[in-house]
A and B are shown apart, each in its own frame.
Chain A
């Protein structure tokens, strides 16, 4: 049974309740996903708190890391939108840190990667799109609907183009959540399968001489996954900025 678990690449994504809690017919158990979400939030908060504690003129290691992260997200926000975008900076920074820490902590063996659950990424994407819609209507009123009406187009083409724009807008949360989820899921499955090859080759008599090959692949893939983890957090953050910029300035 233990061997089966070791070879099953999907087993790592199983959600196990730690503390059962059912209220009003809703399963609100404290699961391993909730546990790792709390770990992620606490470690991200600890990272920033430690980084901003000393406030040295010559920054230490943690402080310079925290300052680099801050600068990085600031430049991302500035690049995607105008200066108006800075009012969303706390949101984008929080989102970026959360996704980044989820991805990075999920890479540590025996941990649970929260972002490989589509419910989590879909919830994040829906928060982003919800803010875009609500802020867009509050800030621009009905002018927000200009987002769906391309400018400089003959009226005859509008019945065709407006549905396309609406579908294009509705596809944003889907692609935003599926991209992060699929990247993390595929990466972790690939790592697990490669690791499984090492184990099964070692137990295969003469073929165990081949075992270093998948092992080297695992090492390479781990480095690759580290890059993917950071890049996907970055992509999530910058697309959030791009979408929020649409809320501030509708109409292309």
Chain B
């Protein structure tokens, strides 16, 4: 996975060497896009897990149990999302 991330982070730098002038801003922007994408994929899964757990607790009335379980599942789903983003470089970068 770290190799895949390295391959992705080196890609914008290569295009930076080709393009003069505004190239570095472009590389920064696409690197930031990737970073924000990975961050949002992770955070979104945790939030969705927490919401499902909270909702189930409200329905069943077993206050902390489902919240804890689904928070952990959400974190796992977040890692899974990040893994998927990192392992499919062709779908995130041109």
Contact = CB atoms under 8 A, between A and B. Distances in A.
A227 B25 CA distance: 8
Interface residues of A, number: 27
Contact of A171 (B26, B33, B47): B47
B44 A174 contact: yes
Nearest to A168: B77
A223 B32 CA distance: 15
B44 A164 contact: no
A11 B46 CA distance: 31
A133 interface: no
B29 A231 contact: yes
B40 interface: yes
B54 to A, nearest CB: 13
A175 B25 CA distance: 25
A38 interface: no
Contacts of B73: 160, 163-164, 167
B45 interface: yes
Contacts of B43: 175, 178
Interface residues of B, number: 30
Contacts of A227: 25-26, 29
Interface string B14-55: 000000001001101110110011001101110111001000
B48 A171 contact: yes
A80 B90 CA distance: 8
Interface in A162-198: 163-165, 167-168, 170-172, 174-175, 178-179, 182-183
A172 B70 CA distance: 17
A244 to B, nearest CB: 12
A245 to B, nearest CB: 9
Contacts of B36: 179, 182-183
Given A179-B40, A227-B29, 16 more contacts: A79-B91, A80-B91, A165-B77, A167-B52, A167-B77, A168-B80, A170-B52, A175-B45, A178-B44, A182-B40, A220-B25, A224-B29, A227-B25, A228-B33, A238-B91, A238-B92
